[in-house]
Chains A and B, each alone.
Chain A
Amino acid sequence: MTNLPFICRASSCGLRFLVGLVVILLTLGADGGRVASAQTIEDLFDDGTVQELRLSINERDLREVLERYLENIYVPADFQWRDQRVRNVGVRSRGLASRSASKPGLRIDFNRYSAGQTFLGLASLVLDNLVTDPALVRERVSMALFKRLRQPASRESFTRLYINSVYQGIYAIVEPVDGQFLQRAFGEKSGYLFERHFLHPFLGEDLGDELTAYRRVFEPRNHELEADTVLYSPIRDLFHEVNQPVDTVWRERVGRYIDLPQLVTHVAIETFLSEADGVLGGAGMANFYLYRGPSSDQHRLIVWDKDHTFAAVDSPIFLRVEENALFSRALAFGDLRALYLDVLEQCARSAAGDGWLEAEIVRLSALIDVAAREDVRKPYDDESRETAVEFLKHFARQRPTFVLQEIARARGGR
């Protein structure tokens, strides 16, 4: 009996020990779960983090990619983000004006050599080398504004890129516009996706009955094996109808082939951002995807590549509108013109409200500051970057006011 209290105490201690052990294990388990769940696609595109991506490429292949950077030559690589490693991915040089031998833009296809292989559900990733933007943040800030205006846009984050353990510089990880993007943005991916393929300027003119003429303008990104009549007849019909006389029939017929309010919204955002290389770009229509849903002839635009925004604070809101056959005719309709001005106003107020646009520029510039300074492959020096960032901040402060004045003038002039 005398030992009973001792036994009870021992039992109590043992119970406490077991409870403590369970708590520790649960804590560790929860922590383990947190680590595991941290590596999600949301974390990859966490806009408050500079990621670190590592590629392992055979030196011979790397030489070939750099020497033949103007070609789309795929080479195999091993890809690593945090503790996630994807083996045998396909890597190639990418871009148009941004192609570079010293700091190549890259496309990574996880399923190039291993059918069905994905990374966090992604079949591919784009690594934007940011070489056409001295400030390095134009693309990110522009995409953010598209998202604020509820337009689907690629998710992005910054990353340090290492190839064979050598720092290549600061890059933007860009979610490609592909099946996964379509599924996320529209809830389905079975429609027809085309990328504006820039070989020659295109201003929305009628290219005639030959479908191959449109194949040169819009490159299919899915359904590639289907006949041109299936792929391109609706696009040919779109630009045929666009170039007919503007009347109520025009609106109905063109509206059958393109979502006109969405087009106007897309262009208005680009215009606010003073996009030099967009739908109303200086070299014709550029940097967008066309998507046509399943069992529909109607297309919509998807934004792409915004490295040339922030061109000028005082860029007119109707700049180059008259040069574009589609957009100039669309704005002939009062409701679409009003929508255009409304979206521009939304952009201006969204950008200026709480100083969001400037704050975003400042935040992102600070986020990448160290990585950018250590990037010796960027074609601009640090002083140029600081000057460019200052200009962007100036743009963020002044552009809303200028655009609102232009809107008022446009509305007053109606």
Chain B
Amino acid sequence: MEFINVYQRRGPFRSAIVAASAGIAAIVLLVAMPAAAQEAPAEAAAPRDGRWSVRWDNHPEVEWSGGLRMEFRARLQGDSRASRAAVERGDGDRFDVGRRRVAVDGEIGPAIDFQIEGEIERTNPWRDVYVNYRPMRGAQIQAGQFKIPFGLEETTSGGNLDFIYRSIVSTRLAPGRDGGVMLHGRVARRTVGYEMGIFAHDGDNARPKGGTRVFGGRTLAGRVTVEPFRHSKSMMSDLEVGVAFTRSSLPQGFPAVRGKSVLGVSFFDSDVWVEGSRRRDGVQVRWRPGPFSVASEYIRVSDDRRGQSQAGTDLPPLLARGWYVSGTWVVAGATGAADVDQPARPLFQGGYGSIQVAMRLERLSFGSIADTNSPSTSPRADVVLGNRETAMTFGATWHLNRWIKMEGNVIREQIGGTAVSPVPHLRVWSRLIRFQLAI
């Protein structure tokens, strides 16, 4: 058994007691709070002077009849991890209240909506900060800082994921947030969605946490999604497929896009000279028939290495590729996978919430196009000696009610090919527990 509960390394009783106490107290409090809050709106929603209304449906909302509506949201997460692998996220081996986010989103008049989201106690607290102008459904303009339209999972809110962590391909290869302007909308009776924007850089996922590594400059991004059976009554009506791309300029240097495992173990440092342009291409598919859901993505990032050989000639691009396939099954408590976070009978309201189980298989690999030359770890190798991680995640999520959920994931990670390989190699099990309150 490869598990080593990291609590046991640093005083088993103290850590366990702190974690357990915090968890139990939080659950009891947070289960009770929203239940009470849910009953409050009827009294609070009464209009004041005929112009203001306050209510709490999914979230607390304030509305002014003159054309302003604001919705307040907050999310609190706490994680517990046990792994034999070196852990990067949070404090690693302690119970970690990882995320405390607050957000305001709303509408101004009939054609403008906005969102301001920040994270408490972070060096760079701002997350989504944008304004969206929608003169018509088929053509809207969004400006500010928001997620570049690339990646099914990356552009899904963290609170709505089926697993505790996003897949490594989404975390490492999808661009994430950046400042920019985007034209988007849905056309053809809403069966086709499109997003096309220009951004300052290629997203915060591609940016170094520190140091001098390089990332994409001005970035053109686009995505088209199609729901070909949207208007049918068949099980296929929810099927959505999409393709996406980004194109960025890339200065000379070592790229910040690196190979790290689910818990942050580095398996490919990308100590490879790149220069030229970065091309990201992605394919995504999602289907949620009844209590089941299937989702999959493939992402490929290609970094040019113009003039980077020993002789100053071009080298084949540095490639990062990855995919995942995930599936979920709502075992009980909700009518379908799409509304598993809205249990029909919440806990303490005549039911026990909803329960979903999930599984995901994923792979992320780095390297270059193989040819007859021997691969090398040289920063100017024509054939880069790459590395890869394959991970399998088993998960279960218990939605106590629409605001609270508890998740457990068990992850089996395999880094590298063989133990004698000159690149990092590791096989490890990890287990994760998260509770989340989102109002």
Asked whether any CB of chain B lies closer than 8 Å to the CB of A190, the reply is no
B143-151, B290-298, B371-379 - the one binding chain A: B371-379
B99-107, B309-317, B320-328 - the one binding chain A: B309-317
CB distance from A72 to the nearest CB of B (A): 16
Establish whether residues B422 and A115, one from each chain, have CB atoms under 8 Å apart when the complex forms: yes
Establish whether residues A58 and B377, one from each chain, have CB atoms under 8 Å apart when the complex forms: no
Mask, B351-382, CB within 8 Å of A = 1, is 00000000000000000000001111111111
Establish whether residues B308 and A76, one from each chain, have CB atoms under 8 Å apart when the complex forms: no
B residues 371-404 in Cβ contact with A at 8 Å: 373-382, 385
CB < 8 Å: which of A58, A90, A164 contacts B308? Answer: A58
CB distance from B322 to the nearest CB of A (A): 25
A112→B377 CA distance, assembly (Å): 8
A88→B374 CA distance, assembly (Å): 10
Establish whether residues A113 and B377, one from each chain, have CB atoms under 8 Å apart when the complex forms: yes
Establish whether residues A58 and B381, one from each chain, have CB atoms under 8 Å apart when the complex forms: no
Whose C-beta in chain B lies nearest to the C-beta of A113? B378
CB distance from A79 to the nearest CB of B (A): 10
Establish whether residues A78 and B381, one from each chain, have CB atoms under 8 Å apart when the complex forms: no
Asked whether any CB of chain B lies closer than 8 Å to the CB of A87, the reply is yes
A164→B309 CA distance, assembly (Å): 12
| B residues less than 8 Å from A90 (CB atoms) | 378
CB < 8 Å: which of B273, B309, B381 contacts A113? Answer: B381
* Total count of chain B residues near the partner, CB < 8 A: 19
CB < 8 Å: which of B311, B381, B422 contacts A88? Answer: B381
Establish whether residues B381 and A56, one from each chain, have CB atoms under 8 Å apart when the complex forms: no
| A residues less than 8 Å from B310 (CB atoms) | 56-58, 76-78
Establish whether residues A58 and B378, one from each chain, have CB atoms under 8 Å apart when the complex forms: no
A112→B378 CA distance, assembly (Å): 8
| B residues less than 8 Å from A76 (CB atoms) | 310, 376, 378-381
| A residues less than 8 Å from B374 (CB atoms) | 87, 114, 117
CB < 8 Å: which of A56, A60, A88 contacts B378? Answer: A88
| B residues less than 8 Å from A115 (CB atoms) | 422
| B residues less than 8 Å from A58 (CB atoms) | 273, 308-312, 380
A373→B141 CA distance, assembly (Å): 71
Q: Is the interface of B mostly helix, strand, loop or mixed?
A: loop
Q: Is the interface of A mostly helix, strand, loop or mixed?
A: mixed
A56→B422 CA distance, assembly (Å): 25
B residues 245-267 in Cβ contact with A at 8 Å: 252
Establish whether residues A88 and B312, one from each chain, have CB atoms under 8 Å apart when the complex forms: no
CB distance from A161 to the nearest CB of B (A): 15
CB < 8 Å: which of A56, A61, A77, A114 contacts B377? Answer: A114
A87→B376 CA distance, assembly (Å): 9
| B residues less than 8 Å from A117 (CB atoms) | 374
| B residues less than 8 Å from A114 (CB atoms) | 374-378, 385
| A residues less than 8 Å from B312 (CB atoms) | 58-59
A residues 36-93 in Cβ contact with B at 8 Å: 56-61, 75-78, 87-88, 90
Establish whether residues A88 and B376, one from each chain, have CB atoms under 8 Å apart when the complex forms: yes
CB distance from B419 to the nearest CB of A (A): 14
A59→B382 CA distance, assembly (Å): 17
Whose C-beta in chain B lies nearest to the C-beta of A78? B310
A residues 112-146 in Cβ contact with B at 8 Å: 112-115, 117
A312→B381 CA distance, assembly (Å): 49
CB distance from B306 to the nearest CB of A (A): 12
Interface centre among A60, A88, A113 (most CB of B within 10 A): A88
Whose C-beta in chain A lies nearest to the C-beta of B421? A115
A59→B310 CA distance, assembly (Å): 8
CB distance from B421 to the nearest CB of A (A): 9
CB distance from B403 to the nearest CB of A (A): 52
CB distance from A323 to the nearest CB of B (A): 46
CB distance from B95 to the nearest CB of A (A): 34
Whose C-beta in chain A lies nearest to the C-beta of B275? A60
CB distance from A192 to the nearest CB of B (A): 24
| B residues less than 8 Å from A61 (CB atoms) | 380
| A residues less than 8 Å from B422 (CB atoms) | 115
CB distance from B233 to the nearest CB of A (A): 60
A57→B374 CA distance, assembly (Å): 19
CB distance from B300 to the nearest CB of A (A): 25
| B residues less than 8 Å from A77 (CB atoms) | 310
| B residues less than 8 Å from A87 (CB atoms) | 373-374, 376, 382
Establish whether residues B376 and A56, one from each chain, have CB atoms under 8 Å apart when the complex forms: no
A81→B369 CA distance, assembly (Å): 28
A88→B310 CA distance, assembly (Å): 9
CB distance from A40 to the nearest CB of B (A): 22
User: Can you pick out 19 interface pairs between chain A and chain B where the beta carbons lie within 8 Å of each other?
Assistant: A56-B310, A58-B310, A58-B311, A58-B312, A60-B252, A75-B379, A76-B310, A76-B380, A76-B381, A77-B310, A78-B310, A88-B378, A88-B380, A113-B376, A114-B376, A114-B377, A114-B378, A114-B385, A115-B422
If A78-B311, A114-B378 are given as contacts, then 5 extra A-B residue pairs at C-beta distance below 8 Å, sorted by A number, are: A56-B310, A58-B273, A87-B373, A88-B380, A117-B374
Q: Which residues of A contact B (CB under 8 A)?
A: 56-61, 75-78, 87-88, 90, 112-115, 117, 164
The 8 residue pairs across chains A and B that have the minimum distance between CB atoms = A113-B378, A88-B378, A76-B378, A88-B376, A115-B422, A56-B310, A114-B376, A113-B377
